[in-house]
A and B are shown apart, each in its own frame.
Chain A
C-alpha cells in the first residue's frame, strides 16, 4: 500500500510545484492588459464563432474501438504473469481469446471503421423545395 501512497504524493507534489512556479512567474512578470490580447487566436483575423461545436464522429468510433481493445488487454496482463506456471491450458485459452479479438478487429476493419478518409456518403435524393 505504501507504494501507491508514494505515487499519490508524487502526483500532488507535481501539481503543487506547477502552482508554485506559476505563482513565482506571476511575481516576475509585467502586466499590461489590453482587450486585444485576450482574443482567441485565429491567424490574426477576428475569431468567427466558438470552438465548442459538434465534432466529426470518427473520433468517437476510434475511442470506442480503443475501449474494447484496452479492456481485453487488461485481461491479458494477469494471464501473462502466471503463464509460465500454467502452461498449455493458458496457451489454449489465450489462443481462443486472441482469435475472438482478431475476429472483432477483422469485423471493424471490413466494416470500414478503421478507415480514416471515408468515401462521400451517398445521400438519398431529397425532393426539391417547392416554389422559389
Chain B
C-alpha cells in the first residue's frame, strides 16, 4: 500500500496534510474501484474468449456478428441485456437471504484481490498471513452459495448448493495441503515473500523445486482449484443437464450476472494464486527480461492458467458425484499428505 500512497502524495501534495487513516481509506477505496473495473473487464473478455475457444475447439466460429471484428462486443451486449432485465424474486423465496447471496459471493472475490501481488510495488495490502487469508476468505464464498440455494426455495437450487458446498469443502483440503508444501520451501505466508523467494530464472520457481515433487503439488493444486471454482470436469453444482442451473436457477438479471462475474473472478484468483505460489508470480522467466514490468508476467501467467481451465472444460466430460468425492478424499488428500512428508524430509536433508 505504501508505494500507492506515495504515488498519491506525489501527484497531489495537499493530500499529505490528511491523517494517515483517511489517506489509507481513500487509497483502498480507489484500489477497490480499480480492481472492480478490472474484474468487470476481465470477465467480459474471458466470457468472449471462452465462447471463441469452445467454438474453435468444436470446429465452429462462435460469436461473429456483434461489434464487427470476431464478435468482440457480444458479452457487452449480453451485459446490457442482463442490466435491463426485470428483477424477479420468487414469491416463496427468503427475500433477505436471496438478495444478500450474490453480494456475499461477489464481495468475497473482490476481497481476495487484496493480497494478489501484481508487481514489486503494486499489491493492495501485503498481509503477513497472505496465503492463509486468501484461503480463508475464498472459502466464505461457500456461505454465499448455500445462502442463494437455500433462499431460492427451489429443489434444483438446494441440490446444486448442497453439492457445491460438499465439493468445495472437500477440495479445500488438498488445496491447503499442496500450498503447505510451498510454505515449507519459502518459510513465509506473505505473498510478496513467496514471490521474492523465487528470484532467478524459471528454474528457481517453486514448481521446479525438489523435482518432481513440487510439480505433483502443482498438479494437485490445479485439479483441486478447478473443483473449487466449479469448473468442468467438476461443475456438478450447475450440471445443466440434471440440475437446470444449480444454485442460481432462480436468479435472473443483474443478480445472476454477479454470480457469473464472481465465477470468472474466482477463475482468475485461483490461477493467480497458482502463478504466485508455483510459477514465480510477477518474476520474468529469465532475468534479462527484467525490463518488462511485473504486472505483464503476473497477468500473463494467470491468463495462461485460465486458458488451460477453459481448454479442460471443452475436453473432459463431467465426473459423477461419487467419482468427485473419490478423487478428493481417496486420491488427492492422501497424496498431498505424503507429499508434505517427502518435501519436509528432503528439506531436512538440505538444511
Closest A residue, CB atoms, query B127: A3
Measured CB to CB, the nearest residue on chain B to A53 is B158
Residues of A close to B176: CB separation below 8 A: 70, 73
A-side interface mostly:
helix
- A121 contacts partner chain B, Cβ-Cβ < 8 Å: no
CB contacts (< 8 Å) of B306 on chain A: these are none
Residue-by-residue, is B323-340 near A (CB-CB < 8 Å gives 1, otherwise 0)? 011100110011001001
Contact, CB under 8 Å: A40 / B90: yes
* Interface of B: prevailing SS: helix
Contacts of B32 in A (CB 8 A): 9-10, 13-14
Interface string of A40-82 (1 = CB under 8 A from B): 1111000100111001000100110110011001001100111
The reply to whether A41 and B250 form a contact with Cβ atoms under 8 Å apart is yes
Q: Which residues of B contact A117 (CB under 8 A)?
A: 322
Q: In this assembly, does B237 line the interface, its C-beta being within 8 Å of a C-beta of chain A?
A: no
Tell me the bound Cα distance from A25 to B126 in angstroms: 35
Contact with A along B194-207 (1 / 0, CB 8 A): 00000000000000
The answer to whether B173 touches A7, judged by C-beta atoms less than 8 angstroms apart, is no
Interface: B89 (CB within 8 A): yes
Residue A109 at the chain B interface, CB threshold 8 Å: yes
CB-CB contacts below 8 Å: A67-123 with B: 69-70, 73, 76-77, 80-85, 87-88, 90-91, 94-95, 98, 101-102, 105, 109, 114-117
Q: Are A26 and B87 neighbours in the complex by a CB distance under 8 Å?
A: yes
* Cross-interface CB contact of A70 among B173, B180, B183, B348, cutoff 8 Å: B173
Pairs of residues from A and B, 7 with the lowest C-beta to C-beta distance, nearest first: A14-B107, A116-B322, A14-B110, A3-B125, A80-B183, A13-B32, A66-B169
Mark A residues whose CB is within 8 Å of B.
2-7, 9-15, 17-19, 21-22, 24-26, 28-32, 37-43, 47, 50-52, 55, 59, 62-63, 65-66, 69-70, 73, 76-77, 80-85, 87-88, 90-91, 94-95, 98, 101-102, 105, 109, 114-117
